[in-house]
Amino acid sequence: MTITRRRFLQGSAAALAAAGCATAKTAGDLQPQSGRRVVVVGGGWGGATAAKYVRLADPSIEVILLEPNDRFVSCPFSNLVLSGVRPLSSLTFGYGDLRRNHGVTIVRAEATAIEPETKRVRVGEGYYTYDRLVVAPGVEFQWEQVEGLPQAKDTVLHAWKAGPQTTALAKQIQSMSDGGVFVISIPPVAYRCPPGPYERICQVAWYLKNTRPKSKVIVLDANENIVSKTALFRGVWQASYPNIDYRPRSRVVKVDPSTRTLTTEFGDAVTYDVVNLIPPQRAGTIAVQAGLVGDDKRWCQVDHVTYESVKHRNVHVVGDSTIGIPAPKSGNVANAMGKIAAVNIVNLLNGRPPSPLPPGNTCYSWINDREAIAVVNAYRIDNGKVVQIEQKLTPGPSAIYGQQAVGWATSIWSDILG
Quick: pLDDT tens for 279-291. Answer: 999 999 999 999 9
Q: At what angle do helices 196-211 and 164-174 cross, to 10 degrees?
A: 30
Please identify, in words, the CATH class of the domain defined by 143-279. Answer: alpha beta
**For residues 10 and 281, which has the higher predicted lDDT (pLDDT)?**
281
Please give the full DSSP string across 256-310, using - where no structure is assigned. ETTTTEEEETT--EEE-SEEEE---EEE-HHHHHTT-B-TTSS-EEB-TTT-BBS
**pLDDT confidence of residue 32:** 53
Q: What is the DSSP letter of 90?
A: G
How far lies 284's CA from each of 198, 299, 320, 368, 406, in Å?
23, 9, 9, 32, 29
pLDDT at 10 over 60: no
**pLDDT confidence of residue 16:** 28
How large is the average pLDDT for residues 108-132?
Answer: 97
pLDDT at 37 over 70: yes
**pLDDT band per the 50, 70, 90 thresholds, residue 35:** confident
pLDDT at 26 over 80: no
Contacts by residues 404-409 (CB-CB < 8 Å, ≥ 24 positions apart): 404/364, 404/372, 404/374, 405/364, 405/366, 405/372, 405/374, 408/362, 408/364, 409/74, 409/76, 409/77
**pLDDT confidence of residue 33:** 56
| Neighbouring residues of 25: CB distance < 8 A, sequence distance ≥ 6 | 64, 105, 107
How far lies 254's CA from each of 17, 144, 377, in Å?
52, 10, 36
- pLDDT tens-digit readout, 350-366: 999 999 999 999 999 99
- pLDDT tens-digit readout, 215-258: 999 999 999 999 999 999 999 999 999 999 999 999 999 999 99
pLDDT at 212 over 70: yes
**pLDDT band per the 50, 70, 90 thresholds, residue 209:** very high
Decide whether 5-140+282-357 matches 143-279 in CATH topology: yes
pLDDT at 34 over 90: no
Query: With contact defined as beta carbons under 8 Å apart, do 87 and 162 qualify?
Result: no
Q: At what angle do helices 230-240 and 196-211 cross, to 10 degrees?
A: 10
| Neighbouring residues of 210: CB distance < 8 A, sequence distance ≥ 6 | none
Q: Label residue 28 left, alpha or beta by phi (over 0 means left) and psi (-120 to 50 means alpha).
A: left
pLDDT at 24 over 50: no
- pLDDT tens-digit readout, 147-199: 999 999 999 999 999 999 999 999 999 999 999 999 999 999 999 999 999 99
**pLDDT confidence of residue 11:** 40
**pLDDT confidence of residue 368:** 98
pLDDT at 104 over 80: yes
- Does the CA dihedral 127-68-63-363 come out positive or negative? negative
On average, the pLDDT of the chain sits at: 93
Query: With contact defined as beta carbons under 8 Å apart, do 349 and 131 qualify?
Result: yes
CA-based nearest residue to 61, from 354, 278, 401, 350: 350
**pLDDT confidence of residue 6:** 40
- Does the CA dihedral 270-271-275-279 come out positive or negative? positive
Please report, for the chain, the start and end positions of each structural domain, with discontinuous segments joined by +.
5-140+282-357, 143-279
**pLDDT confidence of residue 195:** 98
**pLDDT band per the 50, 70, 90 thresholds, residue 337:** very high
Gap between the Cα atoms of 373 and 354, Å rounded = 35
- pLDDT tens-digit readout, 364-386: 999 999 999 999 999 999 999 99
**pLDDT band per the 50, 70, 90 thresholds, residue 28:** low
Please identify, in words, the CATH class of the domain defined by 5-140+282-357. Answer: alpha beta
Gap between the Cα atoms of 6 and 15, Å rounded = 12
